[in-house]
Structure 1
């Protein structure tokens, strides 16, 4: 029996054109005879699904969904086989459905998102329903399959699975709240969305990040598009998605946390319990959104920062931080250089025009210090102050014999990595039992000062130094210490790793009297003084004194003094 033309009124969605449908009995002698039905139909998607929801199919009822999944046309070819007996049960009917959905537009498959597709393939059998093919979720291209099982345990449950294009458009479409410009290029991501009746969808997305560039200029992190990585996202979909897990690995970054999005779209809060970045940052980081088009505030709530390993972002300048948010640091440990660390570091900084703000910490866990950070041409300049200069110098392992005093230290970075210009000023410092100074006083046979050094200590009303710090050494370009009993000047090199000394200067006893006429000499040098040089190591200094230099007045001393050692490239 062939149907040349005709329509069927669907329960929902209008008429269904069934022209071309065929009813046949291949063998009329069989007991019972078997009927085969080929139902060809063309209609709206809603009408086709409502027809397939009738007995014996009940597709949509089994899925726990209404037939109105979206707009579009359905061209369907349904094959049925059943025995010609008085009572036909569902188990006796075999069926298979194949068709196409054209011009699909649906707001019901994924809550809060519009799915569009020019042409999808529909298949169904007693096990379930499957719709698959290329399309778009919002503006994001995809190639996925929607599956719906018909078993009792699958009632009300379905799944969307496949691949999507990951790009800046994806970030914007799903309102992930990532900083503008963080994502570039495009790549593929595997996505699974589990759907359940009367509940928001649950999304899982993974990608190897091939072809996708990621960057966060404020922290100097970049993952080039050509390099691989790993992205894993788990989220609850809805009018406001909830990203319950975000894991990123690549370009030297490992981070895992969760993101809360604001009702109007964009980032509300991103909390990363574990962050590792280029071997210089390990800890926990929280990002707080400040609205569309504005970079988030950043808070590092625990962990360690190693400035020795930090590379200043390429192309960073004062203007590049104009739109950056505030930065709050609560670190267990901030490593400044070999042997010098700030523990219990707490600081609040603005990034407008460059990093600037104030902080407090403990130097190597022993003495409280306060400081400020300001932008400079080559990075962040730091001013560090302590009410106990002696304790600070001892804690830093620089000078164990210092007692008391107030310290004011300024460090300004140079263009070379790990190199700083420094200036230190100390007032009311007392030195007691210093090996190098004891050797020096012994060499010039100043017995009274030597006894004073080993007793209550020698008092210096003021001391200052200009120096250059490198990863291997400190070059003292100029330094002096002055007190009523003694004046000392010093310049040269100290190897921070080898502890080797290459220093020279002038020691002037009875500086209160000797320094009155020293207007034409260097600070810390009186009219009369002894030229000295220091070699060896800080643990075993080798002192050489020129006793005849006492006969050379200060104004002529430069004529007979050789230049102090200085740092050279590669040395």
Structure 2
């Protein structure tokens, strides 16, 4: 085989010629081997006929072959130029006359029986005088019509193009796509009628081309069409396609790829038999589901059907297009995948000037939108030329896939304009209406050459249900706020609301969060349900707002109710949940809400996750009662996995009438009014309450868990007299007025009590001691409640300027069990210790020490005070005392006192042994006597004993014996005193020396001054006594002495501290007594036993401390019988 380069054309092109050395003997080929076959003997006539037919066919074939060979010889070999001219002619027939076609090589080849092809290799086609190659094909095969070859006029029967590249922009008439200008109107917009005409012209051209009998069939394979800049895709690769003429027109089918998407296309053109124009055509275009996504978008399968028809004659043309898509999906990242379907049916009619959208059905997730309308080119309201559209729907439903709300039927209206020069889609009127309300707004989309478009949306709603607003909220607008609303807001209505969204082209998806100027909104909600957070029950019947700006969300609640599982409810108001940077993890919301309701309900609300305010206390919410209101502040986790250390909370509550139906450290809390503040580290309580029934002021700080906060307990117990009586009926006998105890915790289980008792009156009735109001005094002690059986009152100290009691007490079941006072000083001179032990139902008291001031105790028993001894009921007591010195009144004291005393409301036992300062023995006893008791007192120095008890201070010496029988608190008996002196008694001097009113002489003058009252001796004194709780009465009283004597009777003091005594005073008692004892003279002249002949009668009356003395003036000289007449009664 010899190779020669072409003299002309592309040097790469070459001619191929075969020499003799390239010829082979065909008999040597394997196909020349004989193939046996079965034969049968034929009838001679049949064999003759058969051979005749074969001969005729062979002859015809030889003739035709000879002609073809002769024609081929004329075309090739010596006719190479003719082959080239033939190819040029056919290419211009396809691509137009104004082209340059360069062919590397042209030769004939056989295709099947009887078909010859002109094969052109390395074909390049360009516009005339252009360097840009429009078509570059490795192989272009033109199959010739055999009969045309025999006639010497070759004609193309079919063509095939393989492995080609077509630059559409370099094709004749394509260049810069200027052909599009022919489709524009005066405003530079696509004219619907011109577009319609252009499509029909293309169909007519195709119809004419194939109707001209030129290339009735064209096959192409592996042909790439490179599209002009600005086209939707850069290139389309046709894997295979076939154009062929049909009896009625033209048919097209093929497979192509664009941007990785494989598509099947086909077309049928019905040609007019007379003019070859297209009467009707149908174009189909179907894509397979994409094997990959382009930037998260998958188109799924798409079907496009374009059909056109021309009315008979020159009637108007009509173009219909149907576009359907299934499996459309968009990857929304963390928001999931948005999937949908599309079904579009449009009509373009000649002369209508618009594109009618007969059906636009879109299914996205659960939403189904059915719209119709039209697109009309023209100027909009703003004067800018564009494509005006108006779409409406009366039966659409909205149901975003990320909400649980039921699908919403709506009526829709969209009106706007697409302005190509501005790359702007402007929707000036958005109308939405459903059964609950309306929404209106406007929107705009500004397309960008690269990157995402700019979007503007303004949407306002009025009177629409919350459910419906949630479904209208676009997913791209404030996604964090939208997500919160979808998950936490249910039911109710939106009286008014709005969404504003505006971003420039390229802004979305650039990695920067949207600002509040770019996206914002606010919705007022009414009678809705707010799901707050965690396990907190939702707030129902709520009125509030939902607003957002950028990624910041704010939810407010004017009012609402929180219903708990136990049926109780908490009123909620002024709630505010703020979520800053809601799209940046961790997302933590700040909750502020006011709550009010029953204490148990509010406590249960505050105990739930994520607040958990009650976890750190031992108080059970159901144990609380009363009314509570206050504020809850908490940092709320908006998703799982947030570090608990980042979450804080504090609860501030005001309560009224709060009671805790469980013991708190052994105490009962009730009737509490005050506040409590709780956070993760502590609880702070400031309140007035009753602790175990005792009013108190509480200032407590209680640390939680491992908090470093120090525990503080500042408690003020307020015991007014009513409370004191409530605690103990006898406590008022000890403390008068309101007592305020400051209580602080000194150690775990120990509390320190302190009180200022200056303004209180204190008294110890059992010893007759008291402190008046205004006298400084303080009481302090520590209560240790750690023991299981008793409460220890330690470091007890009652102190004042002149008194102090120190020791400790043990209390169990509210009763004193024991007390030990190392110091028991009620006066400055006291130096004793006191021990008290529980004994049965009473107490055993032991007193031991050096000295004791007993004046208060004496006053208590001698008792001239009004009211005297209490007749109240008191527990049994027994007292044993051993004191070296017991001080009394008038500087007198008893030494070596040994006392044994017992009583139960009344004295049940008494034994006293002591001695006066001069050594006189004093003994006293109280012993049973029949049904009553007998009190006996003896004293060897009666004057000292009377001065000690402050009964009478002007007696010296004397031996006394007192014996009285008791009945209850009343005593009756006799007092007998012998050999004593009365010294400087002013009352006695007054009787003797004072002249009676209306009289001329005193008694001392009557006896010539022989009576000395400065020191009067008495041999004996005797009287019958009757003593009650507040009085002392005397009868048959007599004092006998050498110089004077007197008789007396009456009341020494009564409950009003009044004295009323009367009697007779007689001088020279010894002589007068002799006459009185004579039988006849004494009866006539005397006054009975112990009545002298000469004397005066007197009366001592008035206040006990300053009585008035009255003397009868006539009695001084009258005989006894007449004195008796004048004696004071």
Query: By the TM > 0.5 criterion, same fold?
Result: yes
Query: 2:763 — aligned with what?
Result: 215
Query: 2:633 — aligned with what?
Result: 79
For 1:259, which of 809, 834, 840 is the aligned residue?
809
For 2:1017, which of 477, 480, 487 is the aligned residue?
477
| Contact 2:682 2:702 survives alignment (8 Å) | yes
Query: 1:191 — aligned with what?
Result: 743
Distance 2:688 2:855 in 1: 50
1:273 aligns with 2:822: yes
Distance 1:179 1:34 in 2: 58
Distance 1:362 1:208 in 2: 40
For 2:946, which of 408, 412, 417 is the aligned residue?
412
Deviations 1:294-321 (A, max 9, x none): 9x66542334124589873574489516
For 2:938, which of 383, 388, 402 is the aligned residue?
383
Distance 2:880 2:717 in 1: 36
Q: Which moved more, 1:352-361 or 1:268-277?
A: 352-361
Distance 2:607 2:899 in 1: 64
| Contact 1:218 1:321 survives alignment (8 Å) | no
1:234 aligns with 2:782: yes
The alpha-carbon distance between structure 1 residues 14 and 286, as it changes in their structure 2 partners (threshold 3 A), is farther
1:466 aligns with 2:980: yes
| Contact 2:858 2:888 survives alignment (8 Å) | no
Deviations 1:334-364 (A, max 9, x none): 3569998655532113567789833345888
Deviations 1:247-302 (A, max 9, x none): 22248431122333464x4444433221111234321123467899x9x6654233
Residue aligned with 2:645, SS: helix
Distance 2:593 2:836 in 1: 58
- In structure 2, stretches of 5+ residues that fail to align are 1-483, 490-527, 538-562, 927-934, 961-977, 985-1013, 1021-1041, 1044-1069, 1072-1129
| Contact 2:829 2:853 survives alignment (8 Å) | yes
Deviations 1:72-118 (A, max 9, x none): 34444322236878631121123222223344111435455542236
The alpha-carbon distance between structure 1 residues 69 and 363, as it changes in their structure 2 partners (threshold 3 A), is same
Distance 1:359 1:414 in 2: 15
- In structure 1, stretches of 5+ residues that fail to align are 375-379, 386-406, 427-463, 481-489, 492-519, 522-571
For 1:305, which of 843, 852, 856 is the aligned residue?
852
The alpha-carbon distance between structure 1 residues 417 and 203, as it changes in their structure 2 partners (threshold 3 A), is farther
Query: 2:734 — aligned with what?
Result: 182
The alpha-carbon distance between structure 1 residues 146 and 16, as it changes in their structure 2 partners (threshold 3 A), is farther
Structure with larger RCO (C-alpha < 8 A, sep 6+): 1
The alpha-carbon distance between structure 1 residues 424 and 308, as it changes in their structure 2 partners (threshold 3 A), is same
TM-score by length of 2: 0.31
Residue aligned with 1:226, SS: coil
1:284 aligns with 2:838: no
Distance 2:630 2:955 in 1: 79
Residue aligned with 1:87, SS: coil
* Within-5 A mapping of 1:356-505: 357-360=910-913, 371-372=923-924, 383-384=938-939, 411-413=945-947, 419=953, 421-424=955-958, 465-467=979-981, 477=1017
* Within-5 A mapping of 1:58-73: 58-73=612-627
Query: 1:430 — aligned with what?
Result: none
Deviations 1:384-422 (A, max 9, x none): 46xxxxxxxxxxxxxxxxxxxxx9998334885782635
Distance 1:274 1:246 in 2: 10
Distance 1:110 1:468 in 2: 69
Residue aligned with 1:152, SS: coil
The alpha-carbon distance between structure 1 residues 86 and 337, as it changes in their structure 2 partners (threshold 3 A), is closer
Using the TM superposition, give the Cα deviation of residue 192 of structure 1 relative to its aligned residue in structure 2, in angstroms. 3.2
Between Structure 1 and Structure 2, which shows a larger proportion of helix residues?
2
Look at both structures and tell me which one has the larger radius of gyration over its CA atoms: 2
For 2:717, which of 149, 164, 181 is the aligned residue?
164
Using the TM superposition, give the Cα deviation of residue 162 of structure 1 relative to its aligned residue in structure 2, in angstroms. 3.0
Distance 1:262 1:62 in 2: 30
Residue aligned with 1:91, SS: helix
1:320 aligns with 2:869: yes
| Contact 1:335 1:341 survives alignment (8 Å) | yes
Residue aligned with 1:312, SS: helix
Distance 2:833 2:948 in 1: 30
* Number of equivalenced pairs: 411
1:143 aligns with 2:657: no
* Within-5 A mapping of 1:243-254: 243-250=793-800, 252-254=802-804
Residue aligned with 2:859, SS: coil
The alpha-carbon distance between structure 1 residues 425 and 66, as it changes in their structure 2 partners (threshold 3 A), is closer
Distance 1:283 1:24 in 2: 71
Distance 1:425 1:411 in 2: 10
Distance 1:109 1:74 in 2: 20
The alpha-carbon distance between structure 1 residues 370 and 309, as it changes in their structure 2 partners (threshold 3 A), is closer
TM-score by length of 1: 0.56
